[in-house]
A = this chain, B = another copy of it.
Amino acid sequence: MTAKTEASAAPMLTKKDFASGAETRWCPGCGDYAILAQTQKMMPKLGVPREKIVFISGIGCASRFPYYMNTYGFHSIHGRAPTLASGLKVTRPDLQVWVITGDGDGLSIGGNHLLHALRRNIDINIVLFNNRIYGLTKGQYSPTSEQGKKTKSSPMGSIDRPINPISVALAAEATFVARSLDTDPPHLMEILERAAHHRGGAFVEVYQNCNIFNDGAYRDFTDKAVRRQRMLYLEHGKPMRFGDNDELGIRLNQLEPEIVRLDEEPTAEILTHDQHRADPGIAHLLARMSYPEMPVPVGVMRDIEEPIYEELLDGQIDQAVATQGPGDLPALLRGDASWRVT
């Protein structure tokens, strides 16, 4: 296990050990608090000592996150966190490296870095807080804002078609792709833990409420009262069922997902969720399911194993040393055409 940091024999830490003590600067009621709490709660379970953990972020409300974690942290510049994380992980595979980003930070200015970090399958964990708005700059539309959204910079409604973060991660062939939400703490913690354990690049989209500039963005389907009717909790190996009594299911019709009422059609061929499918086709279908037409899927959409960038790199180094011998610097400095002047 070179890619993921080994659990140490150190005494078990607690949630509190992961709180830096810095005063949180988010608006009261912001969904970021819940994500922070679940992360701090989850970390001790990993058994990784604090000093081996690094949180790297860009700029945005979400990106303040590292200040509140009592680990190493880097609040970098807007959109570039995946690049710092890549350089760090490639040179320090012993560390557990997290990237915290926002929908603007990660998909607007930083979209390309996200794509490339994931396609390289560097063993970092990227958590994108998607509040569908630019929070820190006070409320302009973001790349995930719905078309038609009225914001400070789109008083007549945004005309940009939104980006689907999961689709982008899948297009990058990310080896771990998941979604969770700020208002379901146990689920969120589980997903973060799964991401931490995944070997390779992990991408987690977290639906996050910005109660100041985009309050209730997800309320229609995440509200506790309707959640089971309007969201699809994905579980590996389980049929895709939802509804208060699991009375609804997802099947394919003409290769497009549709809802089927199992109480009426008990024999319908419901899709079974397979996180380990090499082909991301179904994951792509899931990514595009959206309320109100369809339930909104959360959970792990994809979890496959592929060679890890930094391991391949170190493998080349080992191979070079094995086949060519360790580098001989004096010989290299001399080159192959030196001469002596006497």
Residue positions of A touching B, CB distance < 8 A: 108-112, 115-116, 119-121, 143, 156-157, 159-164, 167-168, 170-173, 252, 255-256, 279-282, 284-285, 288, 306-307, 309, 312-313, 316, 319-320
Contact = CB atoms under 8 A, between A and B. Distances in A.
B285 A163 contact: no
Nearest to A115: B111
A147 to B, nearest CB: 8
A309 B154 CA distance: 14
Contacts of A116: 108, 111, 143, 163
A288 to B, nearest CB: 7
Number of copies of this chain that the complex holds: 2
B121 A161 contact: yes
A34 B156 CA distance: 46
Given A159-B309, A161-B306, A320-B156, A284 B288 contact: no
A108 B160 CA distance: 23
A184 to B, nearest CB: 26
Contacts of A112: 109-112, 115
A316 B159 contact: yes
B160 A309 contact: yes
A163 B281 CA distance: 16
Given A282-B255, A306-B161, A171 B173 contact: no
B284 A119 contact: no
A157 B307 CA distance: 14
B279 A161 contact: no
Contacts of A119: 143, 160-163
Given A279-B285, A281-B284, A171 B167 contact: yes
A119 B252 CA distance: 26
Contacts of A143: 116, 119
A255 to B, nearest CB: 6
A4 B121 CA distance: 41
Given A161-B173, A281-B285, 7 more contacts: A112-B115, A115-B115, A116-B163, A163-B172, A167-B171, A281-B284, A284-B284
Contacts of A170: 167, 171
Nearest to A118: B161
